């Protein structure tokens, strides 16, 4: 119902649905947050009862949501600093390459011991450690995606923002975030898929003589695989697939349809992504009221607050400079933490031997060849398919949910059976490890290529058609240059994903059997489980050195080429 001014009045079914969903989410969050029984790591058994699956799915989803929200805040801060502070960029981007390539189990000892010390005898600490591990599987892809969007903003749009005297906040809200929105949504989808991939490792892990288990889908699937109960594992996968489909329909498809308005097009496309959920939200009087009375005033208030010209730090007395105080505190905390880390590192380094160093270097080189093979295999099929999906919105409506489902299914849940099959056929773990790396990395490339192809302006497509370009000419002059920045982002995150996947690709344990193959991933997995922190530090440090070298001589030059020659 609408009034004479065109605004909706009265309640409708859309408001009932929206209100019910809000109340349900609030209820489940409060219930989960207040359900804090004492946690004993050795007795945290996982029930394989079918009745527990919905509750386990809810627990895992809440951990994923918490990790994603933290990742989103981290992404905005980190990517913005890297894109607009040249001195910070020289440190942050190489550091980002290192962090996204370090396997999640390398973060496990520090995170787990720190959170357990903060919350002794409670499962809160273990839950926070699990969320941090999921965070490390989500955040890097999002940061690279937003950073790539910020550095490829067209120069004429930047000049327009300066001409209108927009503040930094207004420029971020009106230009930088909208321009990067399509890539950010696609990378968010991929980050959720990355979180599902490492869910089993983030909910069941070993450290020394202690085994830690958290109730969730990941631990359910891992327990079923360890017991060889394939029926229960199949049912766990079915619940996971249903959860992924629900996320696609209720979250990602509405976001993609909403973000479509931010594409840079001078000619309207004949087809726009649609979402029934987005239509319901747009028809909701409750959402309309919140937009007018909460979001709009809040936006106007932030524009007034951050749009003022504030005195610079140099003009303010040092004692009253908030920025100066914050910088001093951050520097003090960083120096303190760095000193503690240095003391621990010196202690661990003293235990290194020449044979260990040689072994680790050979392991890194062996895993590097698998990473390169996995990237090549992934590029061969993801680029053509990604361009097809991104260029054909009607097909995208069907194929996007399927790719999202396939990307989100943890390959680690299927890997034990795959390893057993390949070993029985004589293929061995060498082929299986490369295959698992492909399953864990190909989606980063595919989703970035889809985002790049879908962001190609319609007028450029029309021009290519009008000039009668042949297929290979169209790829050479339009498609490849247009998707190049997105492809580089996908390759960088995929390489990090491949290094990360090495811990589960080279070391597989299920049904009382352990299968491993020589590589840095298996070294990290073994040293983490056995509590050999000296070897864990050596393997992680060697991996970091290799990643820095690759970043310096390969990815940095490709990124510079991307921003200089192929930005729109």
Residue 294 has pLDDT above 60, yes or no: yes
Q: Which residue has the tokens 């994903």?
A: 497
d(CA 204, CA 216): 9
Single out the residue of 448, 447, 455 nearest to residue 488, CA to CA.
Answer: 448
The tens digit of pLDDT for each residue in 195-243 reads: 877 777 778 776 656 777 788 888 888 788 777 787 888 888 889 888 8
Residue 315 has pLDDT above 80, yes or no: no
CB 220 within 8 A of CB 235: no
Q: Which two tokens stand for residue 429?
A: 């773990």
φ, ψ of residue 211 to 5 degrees: the values are -110, 125
The tens digit of pLDDT for each residue in 403-448 reads: 767 776 766 666 666 776 776 666 667 777 888 888 878 888 888 8
CB 416 within 8 A of CB 200: no
The tens digit of pLDDT for each residue in 26-72 reads: 555 555 544 444 444 433 468 888 888 898 999 999 999 999 999 99
Q: Which residue has the tokens 């109340």?
A: 23
d(CA 276, CA 257): 10
Q: Which two tokens stand for residue 179?
A: 């321009």
β-pair partners for 204:
213
Mean pLDDT score across all residues of the chain: 75
Residue 392 has pLDDT above 70, yes or no: yes
The whole-number pLDDT of residue 273 equals 66
Single out the residue of 247, 189, 244, 240 nearest to residue 218, CA to CA.
Answer: 240
The whole-number pLDDT of residue 395 equals 79
Percent of the chain at pLDDT above 90?
5
Q: Is the whole model's pTM more than 0.85, yes or no?
A: no
The tens digit of pLDDT for each residue in 469-506 reads: 787 888 888 888 888 888 887 888 788 778 877 877 78
In terms of DSSP bridges, do strands 210-213 and 507-510 run parallel, antiparallel, or are they unpaired? unpaired
β-pair partners for 184:
none
Domain boundaries 53-263+352-565, corresponding CATH code: 1.10.3720.10
Residue 303 has pLDDT above 70, yes or no: no
Residue 333: pLDDT band with limits 50, 70, 90: low
Residues in the chain: 568
């Amino acid at each position: 119902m609408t009034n004479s001014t065109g605004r909706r009045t009265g309640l409708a079914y859309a408001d009932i649905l929206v209100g019910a969903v809000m109340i349900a989410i609030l209820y489940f969050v409060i219930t989960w947050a207040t359900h804090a029984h004492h946690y004993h790591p050795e007795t945290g058994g996982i029930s394989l009862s079918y009745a527990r699956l919905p509750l386990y799915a809810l627990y895992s989803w809440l951990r994923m949501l918490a990790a994603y929200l933290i990742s989103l805040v981290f992404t905005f801060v980190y990517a913005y600093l890297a894109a607009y502070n040249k001195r910070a960029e020289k440190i942050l981007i190489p550091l980002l390459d290192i962090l996204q390539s370090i396997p999640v189990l390398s973060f496990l000892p520090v995170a787990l011991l720190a959170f357990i010390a903060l919350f002794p005898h409670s499962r809160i600490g273990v839950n926070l450690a699990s969320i941090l591990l999921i965070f490390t599987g989500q955040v890097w892809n999002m940061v690279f995606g937003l950073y790539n969007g910020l550095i490829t903003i067209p120069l004429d749009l930047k000049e327009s923002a300066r001409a209108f005297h927009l503040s930094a906040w207004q420029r971020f809200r009106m230009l930088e975030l909208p321009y990067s929105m399509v890539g950010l949504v696609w990378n968010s989808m991929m980050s959720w898929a990355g979180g599902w991939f490492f869910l089993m490792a983030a909910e069941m892990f070993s450290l020394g003589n202690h085994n830690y288990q958290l109730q969730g889908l990941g631990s359910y699937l891992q327990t079923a695989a360890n017991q060889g109960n394939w029926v229960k594992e199949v049912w766990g996968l079915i619940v996971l697939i249903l959860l992924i489909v629900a996320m696609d329909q209720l979250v990602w498809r509405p976001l993609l349809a909403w973000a479509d308005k931010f594409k840079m097009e001078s000619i309207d496309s004949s087809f726009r992504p649609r979402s029934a959920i987005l239509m319901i939200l747009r028809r909701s009087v409750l959402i309309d009221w919140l937009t007018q009375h909460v979001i709009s005033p809040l936006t106007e208030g932030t524009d007034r607050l951050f749009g003022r010209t504030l005195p610079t730090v140099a003009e303010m007395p040092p004692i009253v400079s908030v920025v100066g105080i914050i910088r001093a505190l951050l520097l003090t905390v960083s120096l303190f933490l760095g000193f503690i880390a240095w003391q621990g590192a010196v202690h661990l380094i003293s235990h290194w031997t020449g044979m260990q160093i040689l072994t680790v270097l050979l392991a890194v080189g062996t895993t590097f060849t698998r990473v390169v093979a996995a990237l090549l295999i992934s590029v061969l099929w993801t680029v053509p398919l990604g361009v097809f999906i991104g260029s054909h919105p009607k097909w995208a409506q069907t194929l996007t949910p399927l790719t999202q489902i396939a990307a989100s299914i943890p390959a680690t849940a299927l890997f034990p059976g795959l390893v057993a099959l390949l070993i029985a056929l004589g293929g061995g773990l060498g082929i299986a490890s490369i295959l698992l790396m492909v399953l864990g990395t190909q989606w980063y490339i595919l989703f970035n290529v889809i985002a790049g192809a879908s962001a190609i302006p319609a007028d450029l497509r029309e021009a290519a058609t009008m000039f009668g370009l042949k297929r290979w000419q169209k790829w050479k002059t339009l498609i490849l240059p247009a998707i190049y920045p997105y492809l580089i982002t996908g390759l960088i995150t995929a390489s990090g994903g491949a290094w990360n996947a090495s811990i589960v690709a080279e070391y597989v344990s299920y049904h009382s059997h352990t299968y491993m193959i020589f590589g840095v991933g298996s070294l990290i997995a073994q040293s983490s489980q056995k509590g050999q922190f000296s070897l864990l530090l050596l393997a992680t440090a060697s991996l970091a050195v290799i990643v820095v070298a690759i970043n310096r001589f390969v990815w940095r030059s490709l990124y510079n080429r991307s921003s200089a020659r192929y930005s729109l």
